[in-house]
Amino acid sequence: MNIINKEVVIIGGGPAGLAAAVELYKKGVQDILIIEREKMLGGILRQCIHDGFGLTRFNVTLSGPEYAQRFIDEVEKLNIQYITDTTVLSVTKDKKITAVSKNGLMTWQAKAVILTMGCRERTRGALGIPGERPAGVFTAGMAQSYINLHNTMVGKNVIILGSGDIGMIMARRMTLEGANVKAVFEIMPYPSGLPRNIEQCLNDYNIPLYLSHTITDIHGSSRLTGVTVSEMDEHLKPIPGTEKEYACDTLILSVGLIPENELSLSAGVELDVRTKGAIVNENYQTCVDGVFAAGNVLHVHDLVDFVSLEAENLADAVAVYVQDDSLPECGIKITTSREINYTVPQYVSGTKDFNLSMRVKKPFRNCKIEIMQDGSVVKSIKLKKVIPAEMIKILVNHKLLQSDKDLEVRVKC
Amino acid sequence: MKQIYDVLIIGAGVVGSAVAREMARNELKIGVLEKNRDVCYETSGRNSAVIHGGFAYDIGTRKAECCVEGNLGFDQVAKELDVPFKRTGKVLVGNTEADYESLQRTIATGKINGSVGLEMVDKERLHELVPAVIGEFAMFSPNSGIVDPFQYTIALAENAKMNGVDFYFNHEVMGIYREADGAYTITTTQGDFNTRWVVNSAGIGCVKISEMMGIHGYRFNGHKGDYIILDKKVGSLLPMPVYPVPNNTFMGIHVTPTVEGNVIVGPNADYVDDFTYYGVPQKNMDYLAKSASTLWPHIHKSDYIRNYSGIQPKWLDGNNVVQDFVIEAREEAPHTINLVGIESPGLTSALPIGRRAVRLMAERETLLPNKNFNPNRKGIVRFFEQSDEEKAHLLAENPDYGEVICRCETVTKAEILQAVHNPLGVDTMLGIKYRTRSMMGRCQGGYCQMRVAQIIQEELGKKVTDVLYARNGSNMFTGKVRE
């Protein structure tokens, strides 16, 4: 088989892949190929027809397709090479990429590979929700695709499990299309989506949100006929006697997103059990030399604006890598206290400023996020309110670091 | 208009499909009546998918005889029918002195039954066979194996169809009447059929059909078992099924690799009288995970991808002792073959049961061999499993192999199209799932379900409201968003 050499191959033409491509090109790396499995570029943004994208980046609120189009236009204008309708079958440790399309099998040898495959939705089976298995149970993104891209209505009487952003957006979307959205149930005592979505998608449409509730049974041997909902105790166990039956023909699940790392694993990339994405350093380089990752394949973001930004930071590092064949050693590990769910990156060099992204495990008020080294605080920021739904981003000046000892990030109230 | 058959088989599970295929070796006009919209919707598709060795059944029983015969013949039939089958071997793991004695008795029984190669293995050898298993010693059955029960049943039915058998799905039998001339009229939800012979292979409906044929006195308990399916990433850690030491009525909760590389955990055993309820309760899932974790340490909730349950017809005598398979042709119901209590090892035994059904018929009338019978059937070629050379060849022939529809299992459009136009005429989402593995992977159709639904609409000219998941009434969608 013919092997084509490329300086950089980007897997996935969603917001992360597009932003990385444009930034790389501007940095002078122009032998780029974006591989996209769908019929067009844009990734998941294509089905996100609601607004609210781009506020941070462009200072204007855009729909998903509009946001994506700004980057697609740049890709077109710069004449960056991309192919669609092409599925990558494997990526190897030595950066050979094999893909298939209607034109046949293709293999590229890349100097650097950028993984921007995004994420997938957690399913009913993965949660282990008990009960029967009727038709009418959809993940929120699936329902969004059916309604917005396939002109297909998935149901009429709807219950939503999980207060993830897509679930709340679908509560509004289905209401606007004439469905009766009865309620949203969230197992945790706090919502998992953004406050603005609770306001604009639930409260504005009088859709109740029940915290500390989950579905404990699913009924229907053919199409869904109803669900049993129970209240949860503080250990997230159902409280006996609180069961309530809700008749419905549709259950929408918005219960979490999982970075899609099957290809990363095939390349030997090591994953972080917390993010389910690659372990990376400040250059967004994985443990495999020359393989980089950004966007939702690395960790699930709250806003696409941050996905673009992360991919651009990655591109800056990849540009150096392509020119110098290597990047500085990153030996300083970043650990977290138990209030913090994770940080990205997990390693830094100490010789370059870095962007630290993180999420807390539960909400805190009036607290400080502290970055510690060797027992002393090297950086501290005060926050009025932090919630798991919102990613926290801190820019750290490398001059603040005292040594090459590991860093710890903690919450102090 | 009444259809006139030599034989009508009731039930298109693995046994009904095997009976149909074996009967088609003779000059007979054969039909199969199935109430569901596809084969193996019930017990045949809802089990551990193990090809058993034949050591677990009492000496001299039909279960023992059919199981050993089925096991020994499985390589050949898997080859003929192009069905994924692996002779993985299997271990029954013990810890106590009582376990040891029980396993030795099992070996002794198994040897008389004709089960091949059974031996006791010590802890060291056990860990060579299954690295992470928890236990002191085991009985090893090298001849046990695993099969894809969907592919196997589909293959039997397709091969039967190739050889002239008619399949009637969505035809539930409502009554069986013997006419003055000795022939039978069978009424169904979609019209009447005439036949000279009737075969009852109705699985969990066997008692109902038996009564309709005029054979009374059978009773059985539904024995419901729940299962959890684990992600393929743990599949490589389990080379063969691992069972505990069984007790008299129950094989025990086990872990089993599937031919496709997943792991299944189960089943518990609950007695039920509702044979239509396949829900899996929380407490059973918790129990399965806890119980199986005493055998194998890699069961984590983060690897769950789905759960399911199945119901076996366990037919019991007055003392609630589980009885043998019933394979009979009774005088009070002439020209009927009655198959009752076909539970585990029914998957392994399906073809031997089919052969015995033919034999019962041949004892009562002369059967002429079907000279054109072809035992071979080809399945859908899996693009992803081919060599690069073969992939290139397939792509050159058909560019639809270049469009990946299911990302988790890497199923291409060419495969989906072959499944949509399957020989049995099945048109459900589940039918495509069984035939291709699309929607069976870790994202559970998150990416491909809408693509499959669209192909069904386009290729079969269905309206969006007519796409069914599996059963009647399991409509996937309520309409278009905009007309």
pLDDT tens per residue across span A45-101: 999 999 999 999 999 999 999 999 999 999 999 999 999 999 999 999 999 999 999
Beta bridge pairs of residue B94: B137
CA distance B449 to chain A (A): 8
**Average pLDDT of A129-138?**
97
Give the whole-angstrom CA distance, residue A181 versus residue A208. 9
Q: Using alpha carbons only, give the angle B88, B226, A229 rounded to the nearest 5 degrees.
A: 145
**Total beta-carbon pairs less than 8 A apart between chain A and chain B:** 142
Q: What is the pLDDT of residue B179?
A: 95
In A, which residues are within 8 Å of B442 by CB distance? 126
Q: Side-chain half-sphere of B354: how many Cα atoms within 13 Å?
A: 27
Beta bridge pairs of residue A372: A377, A408
Q: Are B172 and B166 in contact (CB under 8 A)?
A: no
Contact A135 B476 (CB under 8 A): yes
* Residue that is written with structure tokens 């943004």 in the block: A45
Contacts of A210 (CB under 8 A, 6+ apart): A183, A184, A185, A186, A229
A3 touches chain B (CB under 8 A): no
Amino acid (1-letter code) at residue A97: I
Catalytic residue among B52, B171, B223, B254: B52
Contacts of A307 (CB under 8 A, 6+ apart): A15, A16, A19, A294, A295, A296, A301
Q: Is B335 a catalytic residue?
A: no
Other beta carbons less than 10 A from residue B170's beta carbon? 15
Q: Hey, of B430, B443, B468, which one would you mutate to test binding to chain A, going by the most A CBs within 10 A of its CB?
A: B443
Which ranges of B147-299 would DSSP assign to H, the alpha helix?
149-162, 206-213, 282-292
CA distance B407 to chain A (A): 8
Q: Hey, of B404, B405, B468, which one would you mutate to test binding to chain A, going by the most A CBs within 10 A of its CB?
A: B404
DSSP run (H or E) holding B315: strand B304-315
Q: What is the pLDDT of residue B220?
A: 81
- Average pLDDT of chain A to the nearest whole number: 96
Q: What is the pLDDT of residue A97?
A: 98
CA distance B37 to chain A (A): 12
* Residue that is written with structure tokens 């199923």 in the block: B411
* Residue that is written with structure tokens 């890709």 in the block: A75
| % of chain A residues with pLDDT over 90 | 99
Contact B392 A147 (CB under 8 A): no
**Average pLDDT of A390-413?**
94
DSSP label of B428? S
Residue A376 predicted with pLDDT over 70: yes
Measured between CB atoms, which of A103, A124, A153 is closest to B478?
A: A153
Q: What is the pLDDT of residue B319?
A: 77
Task: Read off the tokens for A177.
Answer: 């299309």
Per-residue confidence at A1, pLDDT binned at 50, 70, 90?
A: low
Q: Hey, of B478, B480, B482, B483, which one would you mutate to test binding to chain A, going by the most A CBs within 10 A of its CB?
A: B478
* Residue that is written with structure tokens 């041997």 in the block: A221
Contact A133 B399 (CB under 8 A): no
A217 touches chain B (CB under 8 A): yes
pTM of structure: 0.95
Show which of residues 106-125 on chain A sit within 8 Å of chain B, judged by CB atoms.
120-121, 123-125
**Average pLDDT of A145-165?**
97
Which chain B residue shows the shortest CA-CA distance from A146?
B450
Q: What is the pLDDT of residue A362?
A: 92
Give the whole-angstrom CA distance, residue A171 versus residue A160. 7
ipTM surpassing 0.85, yes or no?
yes
CA distance B248 to chain A (A): 29
Amino acid (1-letter code) at residue B59: I
Amino acid (1-letter code) at residue A55: L
Q: What is the pLDDT of residue B249?
A: 67
Contact B391 A216 (CB under 8 A): no
Measured between CB atoms, which of A1, A152, A154 is closest to B388?
A: A1
Residue A30 predicted with pLDDT over 90: yes
Amino acid (1-letter code) at residue A330: C
B300 touches chain A (CB under 8 A): no
Q: What is the pLDDT of residue A83?
A: 98
In B, which residues are within 8 Å of A177 by CB distance? 481
* Residue that is written with structure tokens 């570029």 in the block: A41
Contact B478 A156 (CB under 8 A): yes
Give the whole-angstrom CA distance, residue B398 versus residue B382. 13
List chain B pLDDT tens, one digit each, 483 residues. Answer: 456 899 999 999 999 999 999 999 999 999 999 999 999 999 999 999 999 999 999 999 999 999 999 999 999 999 999 999 999 999 999 999 999 999 999 999 999 999 999 999 999 999 999 999 999 999 999 999 999 999 999 999 999 999 999 999 999 999 999 999 999 999 999 999 999 999 999 999 999 999 999 999 898 888 999 999 999 999 999 999 999 998 766 789 999 999 999 999 999 999 998 999 999 999 999 999 999 999 999 999 999 999 999 999 887 777 777 799 999 999 999 999 999 999 999 999 999 999 999 999 999 999 999 999 999 999 999 999 999 999 999 999 999 999 999 999 999 999 999 999 999 999 999 999 999 999 999 999 999 999 999 999 999 999 999 999 999 999 999 999 998
Contact B444 A124 (CB under 8 A): yes
Contact A177 B481 (CB under 8 A): yes
